[in-house]
Amino acid sequence: MPSGTAIAASTPSIIPGLSDDPAELFVRWQAHRDSAAREALVQRYMPLTRRLARRYGRSSEPFEDLLQVASLGLLKALDRYDAERGYPFESFAVPTILGEMRRYFRDSGWAVHVPRGAQERALKVRDAQEQLSGERGHAPSVGQLAQYLELDAEDVIEALQAIHAYETVSLDAPRPGSGEDAGSIGDAIGADDERYELVELDATVAAALKHVPARERLILRMRFVDDLTQTEIAEQVGISQMQVSRLLRRSLDQLRSLTGASAGAR
Amino acid sequence: MWGDLLARTEMAEIPNVQLNVSSHAENVLLVRQALNGLAETIHLDPLELNDISTAVSEACNNVALHAYDGADGPLELEIYVGPALLTVVVRDHGVGIHPRIDDESGGIGLPIMLALAQSVEFHDLDGDGTEVRLEFAITARAAELERALPGAPALAPVNRDGIADDVTVLTLAPAKLGRTVLPRLLSALAARAFFSTDRISDAQLLADALVAHSEETVNGGQLNIDINVRPRALELRLGPLQTGRTSELVGDGASGGLGLLLARLAESHEVRSAATGDVLALRLTDNGA
């Protein structure tokens, strides 16, 4: 192996005066602790490290934190790579860097934090949804939300799913059937409730509807009898569209189980 | 193709989730949504899901980028859940395996798969593409799996004649997996059809109702769903359902609310007869009102 300085003089390099041949750089770093060579290797493999950080644990942690952990993995790989074995550095670096990120996730209780991150994102999506609905007079698309929040469409879809399905994502909804709020909505329905049109559809549904809280009954009627959109209902009732969505889901679930249409369902 | 599907279902166990999509890169999102939905049902550890999702995404990206020489073709995903092992098969019908494994253009997909999966196997399908089989050790409790995924009897898929190449075809066994998988897939496809969040929420409500109905009326153990994305519209077919029971349930004044939901949330719906049972076909739209 020729000496580093001889190579450096004759080949282009990232750092002035240094070879860009990785084999040469590895010798200079591993055998001679040449920190300039290590710096050149870090620069060379940083794109790989960034790609790995982006692909693993997408949208879970702040990217810069993840990149820092991945970079630590890269430094370990630069120390431990054995070129004598004849495998390219990448095939050694990828598992080493992934291993570092996995260990970080495990040790930092990442799995425990996932729900909190999802919760925060869900609330951001809800707020943006209300903001954009207010400005434009109709509900935004996923693409518009993603652009507004600088998130992936995939993250927005997951947030919408979480809002729809998980009671653990709190939307600060007043509990139905409790407190003054629900009572006043019940009053608002008033005598009209006796002629509730949904009732005409089916005696079983009519009987089941009695078990659905007043607020939910009102929302069911607005959606399915008056044919209002969820955003319109949200405006009239004074809650968010996400809450309308969830209240509809809950009352439909309830109707399903009460009418026995799906005994095995929630 | 028909005979091939039958042969496979007889030989092997039935996948719990089967997803057939076109190999566009954007469809890898659908694969991840299916994994997320399954993970919710079986209470998969989030760290394990992250590994699985990352590795499977790489296998699918590989198909999207390389299997059809820049064109699109079928991307087939199968997921099998065992007591301590989750197996994912990613299959294409494109060029064989070697041009891709030998690809020196800095591909990190294979090293990622090798690092995250317990085992990775490549199979050359005798000139008909490539199959990647990824196995992951999982810690989800066996009892939960048994409760969530009872053994499903083999059944041929719904007749797929006439389904265009860009349709998403989902097969679930048991049907109740649809509770967590269908709303996610439908949301993702509705987003692609430019639905507003209002209408996406409606689609989720409808997905809940459809799966609840299907759990009771599916013919055999497998529920087949195909979804076609049109401009501002989704066309969905679901079956095979027990003959007669769906007409009864979606009719006017039917109990249980499915008829009501379909009437209000879908632009149109109808029950069609097929050899294997009834198929419920419906169309969802968002006209940007």
The first and second tokens of residue A165, run together, are 């399905």
**Whole-angstrom Cα distance, residue B167 to residue B262?**
22
What confidence tens digit (pLDDT) does each residue in B85-122 have? Answer: 999 999 999 987 655 554 544 578 889 999 999 999 99
Instruction: Report the residue of chain A nearest B58, measured CA to CA.
Output: A55
* Subunit contact B191:A95, Cβ cutoff 8 A: no
Is 90 exceeded by the pLDDT of residue B124? no
User: What region does A228 belong to: left with phi over 0, alpha with psi -120 to 50, or beta?
Assistant: beta
pLDDT grade for B274, boundaries at 50, 70 and 90: confident
Q: Which long-range contacts (CB under 8 A, 24 or more apart) does A262-266 make?
A: A262/B212, A262/B213, A262/B215, A262/B216, A262/B256, A263/B216, A264/B176, A264/B215, A264/B216, A265/B179, A265/B212, A265/B215, A266/B179
Share of residues in chain B with pLDDT > 90 (%) = 47
Looking at residue B15, the DSSP 8-state letter turns out to be P
Choosing among B29, B198, B215, B258, which should be mutated to test the A contact, i.e. which has the most A CBs within 10 A? B198
Size of chain A in residues: 266
pLDDT (tens, 9 = 90+) of chain A, 266 residues, equals 444 344 444 344 455 566 778 889 999 999 999 999 999 999 999 999 999 998 887 655 678 888 999 999 999 999 999 988 888 899 899 999 999 999 998 888 776 666 677 778 888 898 899 899 889 888 999 999 999 999 889 889 988 988 887 766 666 544 344 344 443 444 444 434 444 555 555 666 677 778 888 888 889 888 888 888 998 998 899 888 888 988 998 888 888 887 764 433 33
Cα A74 to chain center, whole Å?
27
- Contacts of residue B98, defined as CB under 8 A and 6 or more positions apart, other chains included, come to B124
User: What region does A136 belong to: left with phi over 0, alpha with psi -120 to 50, or beta?
Assistant: alpha
Q: In terms of pTM, does the model score above 0.90?
A: no
Choosing among A44, A54, A56, which should be mutated to test the B contact, i.e. which has the most B CBs within 10 A? A56
Q: Would you state the pLDDT for residue B192?
A: 92
Instruction: Give yes or no for A248 touching B (CB within 8 A).
Output: yes
* Subunit contact B176:A105, Cβ cutoff 8 A: no
Distances from the Cα of A33 to the Cα of A96, A177, A205, B19, angstroms? 21, 71, 78, 51
Decide the pairing of beta strands B85-92 and B119-124. unpaired
Strand partners, B19: B77, B170
Residue with the bigger pLDDT between B70 and B232: it is B232
CA-closest candidate to residue B171, choices B5, B1, B3: B5
CA-closest candidate to residue A213, choices A242, A181, A241: A181
Chain B residues 47-66 with a CB less than 8 Å from chain A: 47, 50-51, 54, 57-58
B39-63 average pLDDT score: 92
Is 60 exceeded by the pLDDT of residue B55? yes
Decide the pairing of beta strands B233-241 and B85-92. unpaired
Q: Would you state the pLDDT for residue B199?
A: 93
CA-closest candidate to residue B160, choices B152, B175, B171: B171
Decide the pairing of beta strands B277-285 and B233-241. antiparallel
Distances from the Cα of A246 to the Cα of A58, A70, A169, angstroms? 27, 39, 11
Helices A230-237 and A214-224, packing angle to 10 deg: 140
What confidence tens digit (pLDDT) does each residue in B169-194 have? Answer: 999 988 889 999 999 999 999 999 99
CA-closest candidate to residue B73, choices B119, B125, B121, B36: B125
Q: How many CB atoms lie within 10 A of CB A153?
A: 18
**Whole-angstrom Cα distance, residue B178 to residue B221?**
12
Is residue A35 within 8 A of residue A54, CB to CB? The reply is no
What confidence tens digit (pLDDT) does each residue in B231-243 have? Answer: 899 999 998 888 8
Instruction: Report the residue of chain B nearest A112, measured CA to CA.
Output: B46
Residue numbers in B near A154 (CB within 8 A): 29, 32-33, 188
Q: Would you state the pLDDT for residue B5?
A: 38
Strand partners, B133: B89, B121
CATH number for the segment(s) B17-148? 3.30.565.10
Instruction: Report the residue of chain A nearest B202, measured CA to CA.
Output: A245
Domain with CATH 3.30.565.10 in chain B: 17-148, 168-285
Is residue A40 within 8 A of residue A20, CB to CB? The reply is yes
**Whole-angstrom Cα distance, residue B236 to residue B51?**
31
**Whole-angstrom Cα distance, residue B238 to residue B170?**
10
Q: Which DSSP string do the residues of B95-131 spell out, in sequence order? A: S-SHHHHT--S---HHHHHHHHSSEEEEEE-TTS-EE
Max intra-chain CA distance, chain A: 96
CATH number for the segment(s) B168-285? 3.30.565.10
Instruction: Give yes or no for B236 touching A (CB within 8 A).
Output: no
Is residue B129 within 8 A of residue B93, CB to CB? The reply is yes
B220-246 average pLDDT score: 89
Residue numbers in A near B218 (CB within 8 A): none
Is residue B217 within 8 A of residue B223, CB to CB? The reply is no
The first and second tokens of residue A25, run together, are 């750089």
B12-38 average pLDDT score: 91
Mark B2-16 as b/e (b = at least 16 C-beta within 10 Å). Answer: eeeeeeebeeeebbb
Is 80 exceeded by the pLDDT of residue B63? yes
The span from the first CA to the last CA of chain A, in angstroms, equals 70
Residue type for B258, please? L
Is 60 exceeded by the pLDDT of residue B163? no
Residue numbers in B near A266 (CB within 8 A): 179
Q: Is B1 helix (H, G, I), strand (E, B) or coil?
A: coil
**Whole-angstrom Cα distance, residue B208 to residue B182?**
8
| Phi, psi for B122 (deg, rounded to 5) | -110, 135
The first and second tokens of residue A32, run together, are 């001679």
